Amino acid sequence: MSTDGASLYSRKNPFPATLTVNRKLTGEGSEKDTRHFEISLAGSGLDYEVGDSLGVFPTNEPELVEKLLERLGFSGDEVVPNADKVPMPLREALLKSFVITAPDKKLLGAIAEKDSSATFLKDFLDPAFKTSLEDYLWGRDVLDPLLEFSAAQFTPEEFAGCLRKLQPRLYSISSSRRVVGENVHLTVAVVRYESHGRRRAGVASSFLAERAGDEGAVPVFYHTAKHFRVPEDPATSMIMVGPGTGIAPFRAMLQERAATGATGKNWLFFGEQRSSSDFFYRDEFERYQAEGVLTKFDTAFSRDQDFKIYVQHRILENATALYDWFENGAIFYICGDASRMAKDVDAALHQVVEKAGGKTPEQAIEYIDALKKAKRYRKDVY
């Protein structure tokens, strides 16, 4: 099912897969709900490689769909053009085709036209009010402005025309097919929060956690990541930094390196909030350590003490050994949060080169840039 045409299935024609395992990785006392999923791709002609991601087409929460239909006074059987302009009953379109967890600007504009108390929403459509629009949208779904401005009435077709297309979500594959056959494993943090007095959930992560098992098929496709493969030479060492769900591709890579008997050394940095509740795949990693597959394994549990310890702190503590690995040709991999973690780790790497390599800040920049040019600094951050 690769995107290079080896299988019938692709983003445009997703494979109807089956969710076979839905297991919580986080334990009692955790603030998160992070899960291990196994999805069967039997019959798909799968050929993913470690480093790739799986695209998942979710469906929306049925309760939210029913609340929307109720507010709008629709039965749900009204036929409307879905996001691909194909006629579909409104309920089905709201479940499968449209974004209903974030209002589109078009909807806000239509509400402003229909409810005189909502005219200020029109201002948000001006690019000059981009920040106000973002502030307004934060934590609001399609139902919120409809409840706030109850005079706004729509025809089913008009309403459907104000919604944008639901997009698939990508998840790093956390298994090697050499080990799991026609299955694919994922490691997913379920997004949940409360806003404006209602409990909300991320569409795809809650679909996998709560609905995919009952709904039958999970439409999936592969997203190849040619830049994020295990080293081409099995003797090359790997340094992997994967806090939180960033661990996913490294579980896959370690499975692959173990299965292929790769001789290169493997160093893993993992971080989460608490060792007692958030140490994902602990047994597997400790087994790899005992077997010598995992040469070095450093963990950073940020909330086990009253000050933060993050992966970059472990990186700095190990500056001399890390620099030594770089000097001996290791490839550096990072996966997980792009907004803060990846930047902070990058800064720590520069410090490692300065401190352990005796280099100036400018020389450290050149050193890291050279790693990137040589494809020895591989990122998959989101």
Ligand X SMILES: NC(=O)c1ccc[n+]([C@@H]2O[C@H](COP(=O)([O-])OP(=O)(O)OC[C@H]3O[C@@H](n4cnc5c(N)ncnc54)[C@H](OP(=O)(O)O)[C@@H]3O)[C@@H](O)[C@H]2O)c1
Q: Which of 83, 189, 259, 316 binds ligand X (CB under 6 A)?
A: 189
Q: Which of 64, 143, 204, 331 binds ligand FAD (CB under 6 A)?
A: 204
Cβ proximity to ligand FAD: between 82 and 206 the closer is 206
Q: Does 227 bind ligand FAD (CB under 6 A)?
A: no
Subset of residues 24 to 53 that bind ligand FAD, contact rule: CB under 6 A: 53
User: Which one of ligand FAD, ligand X, none interacts with residue 53, CB within 5 to 8 A by kind?
Assistant: ligand FAD
User: Which one of ligand FAD, ligand X, none interacts with residue 169, CB within 5 to 8 A by kind?
Assistant: ligand FAD
Cα 319 to its chain centre, rounded Å, is 29
User: Which one of ligand FAD, ligand X, none interacts with residue 248, CB within 5 to 8 A by kind?
Assistant: ligand FAD
Q: Which of 302, 329, 346, 359 binds ligand X (CB under 6 A)?
A: 302
Residue 35 tokens, joined: 């899960």
Subset of residues 66 to 105 that bind ligand FAD, contact rule: CB under 6 A: 101
Q: Which of 248, 252, 300, 342 binds ligand FAD (CB under 6 A)?
A: 248
Q: Does 195 bind ligand FAD (CB under 6 A)?
A: yes
Q: Does 244 bind ligand X (CB under 6 A)?
A: yes
Residues 19, 333: Cα–Cα separation, whole Å: 29
Cβ proximity to ligand X: between 140 and 177 the closer is 140
Cα 112 to its chain centre, rounded Å, is 34
Candidates 75-83, 124-132, 166-174, 263-271: pick the segment binding ligand FAD (CB under 6 A).
166-174
CB of 110 to ligand FAD, least distance (A): 22
Q: Does 245 bind ligand X (CB under 6 A)?
A: yes
Is there a contact between 352 and 322 (Cβ–Cβ < 8 Å)? yes
Q: Which of 205, 255, 273, 318 binds ligand FAD (CB under 6 A)?
A: 205
Cβ proximity to ligand FAD: between 211 and 274 the closer is 211
Is there a contact between 176 and 251 (Cβ–Cβ < 8 Å)? no
**Residue whose CB is nearest to ligand X in the complex, by number:** 244
CB of 333 to ligand X, least distance (A): 15
Strands laid side by side in the 183-189 sheet: 169-172, 53-56, 217-223, 15-24, 34-40, 183-189
Q: Which of 7, 183, 187, 273 binds ligand FAD (CB under 6 A)?
A: 187
Q: Are strands 79-81 and 87-89 parallel, antiparallel or unpaired?
A: antiparallel
Q: Which of 47, 92, 304, 344 binds ligand X (CB under 6 A)?
A: 344
| Contacting residues toward ligand FAD, per CB under 6 A | 53, 101, 138-139, 169-172, 187-189, 191, 193, 195, 202-205, 245, 248, 380, 382
> Binding residues for ligand X, per CB under 6 A?
32, 189, 191, 243-245, 271-273, 302-303, 310-312, 336-337, 339-341, 344, 382
